[in-house]
Amino acid sequence: MTLTKSVVYEALRIEPPIPFQYGRAREDMVVRSHDAAYEVKKGEMLFGYQPFATRDPTVFDRPEEFVGDRFVGGRGEKKMLLRDVYWSNGRETDDPTAENKQCPAKDLVVLMSRVLLVELFLRYDGLTVEIEPLPLGSSVTITSLDKATSV
């Protein structure tokens, strides 16, 4: 099940379901990146584009490539990489609270995605897909499924 969890995290990393986030700063703060810092005043509007963080080459090797076992072993399983996956309006390693805007169902999304993935591979021996690049991401269409010969 470790690999299915890694595949789900990688899918959420490479194509966050909600790539855009915005909000007003609740207090004066400094937003830091790997090589710069930005002062933000209370009340200023902030905007974030998730793939800038989730495809950061400083953090992820081969950031534009889907690597199913990226979160297995070493840094991946120790949650070193998960803290840089922001699909749920917060770090994957953080918990949703009443004070933040992180998706309260983030753990349910991961669980249901894992169940769907396992069910897909239990029911079908193979599948064929068409991948179409889009300006902001890609489109994947399942074109054929081969039913499982044994259950």
Question: What count of other Cβ atoms lies within 10 Å of the Cβ of residue 40?
Answer: 15
- DSSP string covering 23-78: EE-SS-EEEE-SS-EEEE-TT-EEEEEHHHHHT-TTTSSSTTS--TTTTSSHHHHT
Give 109's contacts (C-beta < 8 A, 6+ positions apart). 12, 88, 103
> Any binding-site annotation on 94?
no
Query: Residue positions in the annotated binding site for heme?
Result: 103
Query: Residue positions in the annotated binding site?
Result: 103
